[in-house]
Amino acid sequence: MREVDVKLRSAGYEPPRNGTVAPSCGVMTDWDQMFVRSLARPPACRSLQDLQVIYYGLSGLEALQTLRDSALRALCKVVRYEKHQANDVLYYTGELSTCWYILLSGSVFIDGSMFLPRS
């Protein structure tokens, strides 16, 4: 099986093409902060508690609900968090993608359309 790098940033099953990131206007809850803090730790330095927080955070994402428990737990060990500034370009059309993004906050523009995270 080919290893896939997953980064929690933008929504959808396909990586964004020509995706630009817009600023976030949301306020993070204590749970959100704990989730992001656990994700921000390097995968090799995560505690069991970090992995549990990440597991519960990922299991609540609609895009990942079809994964088997074992696959989701494996994903918890390698998933990474990224934060981008407004107008950062994540991908250009035609580029080969090396990761998959899930948008947690903010918005992403893809081919002139705006995408927001699901609540």
Provide the whole-model pTM. 0.69
pLDDT of residue 71: 96
Q: What is the pLDDT of residues 75-113, one digit of tens each?
A: 999 999 888 888 888 888 888 888 888 887 888 888 888
Q: Which of 46, 21, 40 is nearest to 115 (CA)?
A: 21
